[in-house]
Amino acid sequence: MSHFVNFQDQVCLVTGAGSESGIGFCTAKLLGSLGAKVALISTTDRIQKRVQELNSLAITARGYQVDLIDRKQTEDVIKAILSDFGRIDVLVNNAGMTQVGESEDFSEFAEMSYEEWDRSIQRNLTLCFNVTRQVLPFMKAARYGRIVNVSSVTGPVVSNPGEASYSAAKAAIIGMSRAIAIEAAKENIMINNVLPGWIATASQTEGEAAGGLNTPVGRGGSPEEVANMIVFLSSKEASYITGQTFIVDGGNTIQEYKGPKELYY
């Protein structure tokens, strides 16, 4: 059976892939099913369970437990992946938002501590920089690469109270990507951003689930639906698309009216 896209003989690195129901792991599974060898990164040892699941599907995968906020750990893990696999053709920057064992802070801007601002920027922007900075030189040397950043509609398009730092970080990823896109395009390296809306992962809150019901599609999205977009942008076929943002939100951000349906549409 032939596929429109395939990743035979390619090595794909997916960060933030520890959750069984998360976007990262769904992306890794789809890439592997299309022939990729997959390197998975998470902050906890549950990453080895994800590797076992992929191996059971005859997918070549290895897991690495690393804190990507730590630049030395990031540098070391990229060296280890290159030693283990010989190359990195695709980087999916999915890690961020929250880390296992850490609580989120939703302080409004006027009450936000400096520490919380710094933590959120590190987790949602600097982490992405750290990984991309280590991987990009190898892609440039190989004269090929695909980088997909999982940003969010929160920040680049919309926002919420208590999410100033998160919004700033997710919007900044897009600005960073545009500069990289211009710098790296001649080496056949494409970098793009996927912006999920209300997605039904294991970490989704009751309020987020309700938000999904009020999209034009009438439901939250699945991690697989986000993964489908990520995987296409990771493919050889996405060869003339770079520096772009792709919203996967069931049409939520295009609708002006977001009140009770019975009062309008």
SS (H, E, C) 147-194: EEEECCCECCCECCCCCHHHHHHHHHHHHHHHHHHHHHHHHCEEEEEE
Closest CA to 166 of 129, 207, 120: 120
Contacts (Cβ under 8 Å, ≥6 apart) of 218:
250
What is the C-alpha separation between 47 and 25, in angstroms, rounded?
Answer: 9
257 belongs to the catalytic site: no
Closest CA to 183 of 137, 150, 233: 137
214, 14 Cβ separation under 8 angstroms: no
What is the C-alpha separation between 37 and 84, in angstroms, rounded?
Answer: 11
Could you say which of 166, 257, 264, 265 is catalytic? 166
As annotated, the active-site residues are: 166
